[in-house]
Amino acid sequence: MRLLFAISASFFLVSFCNASVLKPRATTAVIPPNSFSSSTLFSEYWNYNYPWGDSHNGAAIMDSSHVTLNTGSNSVTLTSVYTTGLGTVTSGGSTIQLHYKSGTIYAKPTFTVAAGGGYDISASFIAPTIKGTWPAFWLTAVSGWPPEIDIAEWKGDGLISFNTFNTSTVVKADDVAYPNPSSTHTVKAEVRAESDGSTVKVNFYLDGVLQTTQFGADYIGKAMYLIVDFQMEGSSGSPGPTGNTTYTISDVSAISYNP
Ligand SMILES: *[C@@H]1O[C@H](CO)[C@@H](O)[C@H](O)[C@H]1NC(C)=O
Ligand SMILES: *[C@@H]1O[C@H](CO)[C@@H](O)[C@H](O)[C@H]1NC(C)=O
C-alpha cells in the first residue's frame, strides 16, 4: 500500500509539473455564456439603457419595459414600438424627433485591453435589417472617444456592418451580406493588443467565418462599455416602420485574455 502510494504520488507530481508548463494563458469569463438564463444573473451582469441615459443618435427613447428577458432560451428581446407625441431629444449635438419607445442594455463590467491581452466577445442574434431599424452590439469609450468597435450593426439596408474608429476621423466600415435575417446568426470579435503597446487589432466573424480585420490606434489601456441597443432611424434611414419590431440577442459571452 505504502509503496504503491509513493509511486502514484510521484506520477502525480510529474504530470502536474508537465501540465503547468504546457498550460495556456489563463482566460477569465468577464460575461459568462448564461447571463440571460436567470434574472439574478441578468442583474449581476447587465444594466438598462445607455451608460449616459436613454437616447443616442436616433428616434428611439429607451426604457426597461421594452426589454424582455427570456430565461428559457438564454436571450433578451428588445421591442421597438412606434409611438406618437414623444417630442424631441438632443443627442450628438442635434435635436432629434422621437418616434419610438425601445430597449437598450449594457454590460456592468467594462473592457480594457491590456498590453499582451484582449477579449473574445460573441453572441447570437435575430436582427431586423429593414429601413429605419438600427440594432447594434458595440463597444464604446467609457471616457473620451474613440475607442469604438461596432462588433455588429445593422443599418436598415439588408447588410451587417463591422466598424472600428481607428481615430476620431478615420473609420474602417465593412458592410457584408446578411442572408435570412429572420434566422439566428452568430457574431464574434477577437480583440487583441498589438505588440506596439498601443494598437488594438479586431477580427470580426459572422457565423464562424472571418469577415474583416480592423485596427484601433491608442486603444490599449482605455476602458470600453459593451452595449446592446435597438435604436431606430438615425444611421438606418427614415421613415422607419409604423409598427412593432424586435431584436433578439442570445448566448452573449465575453472572455478576457488580459495577463
Ligand atoms: C490607424 O491610425 C494610426 C495612427 O494614426 C496609423 O498609424 C495607422 O496607419 C492607422 N491604421 C489604419 C488601418 O487606418
Ligand atoms: C406593440 O407592443 C406594445 C408594447 O409591448 C403592445 O402593447 C402592443 O400590443 C404591440 N402591438 C402589436 C400590433 O403587436
Ligand at minimal distance from the CA of 217 is 1
**Of the candidates 37, 101, 35, which has an alpha carbon nearest to the alpha carbon of residue 65?**
101
Return the half-sphere exposure (C-beta side, CA atoms, 13 A cut-off) of residue 40: 0
Give me the mean pLDDT over the 72-89 stretch.
98
Q: Is the CB of 167 under 6 A from ligand 1?
A: yes
pLDDT at 187 (0 to 100): 98
> pLDDT, tens digit, for every residue of 83-93?
999 999 998 88
Quick one: pLDDT at residue 26? 73
Max intra-chain CA distance, the chain: 84
Please indicate whether residue 215, judged by its CB atom, sits closer than 6 Å to ligand 1.
yes
With 90 as the cut, is the pLDDT of residue 102 above it?
A: yes
The alpha carbon of 136 and the centre of ligand 1 are apart by a number of angstroms equal to 25
Ligand 1 lined by 218 (C-beta under 6 Å): no
Strands (E), 32-92: 46-48, 60-62, 67-70, 75-82, 88-91
Q: Comparing C-alpha atoms, which of 127, 148, 157 is closest to residue 236?
A: 157
Measured CA to CA, the distance from residue 47 to residue 108 in angstroms comes to 6
Contacts of 234 (CB under 8 A, 6+ apart): 57, 58, 59, 96, 134
Give the position of cell 509513493: 6
- Catalytic status, residue 153: yes
Residue 25 pLDDT class (50, 70, 90 cuts): low
Partnered with residue 191 across adjacent β-strands are 119, 202
CA of 243, closest atom in ligand 2: 13
In this structure, is the dihedral angle defined by the CA atoms of residues 206, 208, 213 and 219, taken in order, positive or negative? positive
Q: How far apart are the first and last CA of the chain?
A: 43
Query: Ligand 2: does its nearest atom lie under 6 Å from the Cβ of 79?
Result: yes
The verdict on whether 233 is a catalytic residue reads no
Within 10 angstroms of residue 10's Cβ, the number of other Cβ atoms is: 10
Residue 134 · residue 196 · CB < 8 Å: no
**Any atom of ligand 1 within 6 Å of the Cβ of 217:** yes
Q: How far is CA 224 from CA 109, 154, 156, in A?
A: 9, 21, 26
Name the residue at shortest CA distance from atom 14 of ligand 2. Answer: 244
| Residue 244, ligand 2, Cβ within 6 A | yes
Taking CA atoms only, the protein residue closest to ligand 1 atom 5 is 217
Question: What tens digit of pLDDT does each residue of 123-157 get?
Answer: 999 999 999 999 999 999 999 999 999 999 999 99
Q: What is the Cα 59 distance to its own chain's centre?
A: 21
Q: Minimum-distance ligand to the CA of 202?
A: 1
Separation CA 172–CA 85 (nearest Å)? 37
**Nearest to residue 89, comparing CAs of 80, 99, 79, 81?**
99
Ligand lying nearest the CA atom of residue 168:
1
Q: Give the model's pLDDT for residue 22.
A: 52
Residue 93, pLDDT score: 87
| Residue bearing cell 487589432 | 201
Pairing status of strand 60-62 against strand 100-102 = parallel
| Average pLDDT of the residues in 101-112 | 98
pTM score > 0.85 for this model?
Answer: yes
Segment (H or E) for 186: strand 185-193
Q: How remote is the CA of residue 244 from the centroid of ligand 2, in Å?
A: 6
Residue to mutate, 166, 168, 174, 200, ligand 1, most ligand atoms under 8 Å from C-beta: 166
Give the pLDDT band of residue 24 (cuts 50, 70, 90).
Answer: low
Q: Are 211 and 162 in contact (CB under 8 A)?
A: yes
Handedness of CA 142, 147, 149, 150 (dihedral sign): positive
Q: Is the CB of 77 under 6 A from ligand 2?
A: no
Cα 184 to Cα 104: distance, rounded to the nearest angstrom: 20
Residue 244 CB less than 6 A away from ligand 1: no
Nearest ligand 1 atom to the CA of 216 is: 1
